[in-house]
Amino acid sequence: MSDRSLRSWMQTLIRYVRSGQPDLTNRQMALMLLVYLTPGPHTVRGLANVLGVSKPVITRALNTLGALGYLRRVRDEADRRNVFVAKTSIGQDFLDSFERNLEQDGTPKRSTKERGFILQHG
């Protein structure tokens, strides 16, 4: 990562801190991006596997993100034992706002499909 990239990221984070939005941990933000940018359905087990953390770590992050209204748990109607992690309009608004912070540094806006591809394939 170049000095320019780090400075751009620093400016994005400064705008984020100044925005007054809730501070999310890196795990919470990674969880948000996984759910919003990759195809579902998403389960705690699957998300834990992708992030390389335990299920309790995902559960704690979901508790926080759920309290903020950014994600929600939805019971699988076909098998009531399963619970999926779902998007919310509040969470989408949060990520849209965060993306606008990124774009202020001249980063071009990408389509949802393109962002998901980049996330999945690096």
CATH number of 13's domain:
1.10.10.10
CA distances (Å), origin 58, targets 41, 50, 115: 15, 11, 22
Query: pTM of the entire structure?
Result: 0.76
Predicted confidence at residue 106, as pLDDT, reads 57
83 with 75: CB under 8 angstroms?
A: yes
3-state secondary structure 51-110: HCCCHHHHHHHHHHHHHHCCEEEEECCCCCCCEEEEECHHHHHHHHHHHHHHHCCCCCCC
Q: How far apart are CA 15 and CA 59, in angstroms?
A: 29
Return the H-helix or E-strand segment holding 32.
helix 26-37
pLDDT at 122 over 70: no
pLDDT band at residue 109 under the 50/70/90 scheme: low
28 with 18: CB under 8 angstroms?
A: no
pLDDT band at residue 8 under the 50/70/90 scheme: confident
Minimal CA–CA distance to 71: which of 89, 48, 51?
A: 89
Q: Domain range for residue 96?
A: 3-121
Domain count, the chain: 1
1 with 8: CB under 8 angstroms?
A: no
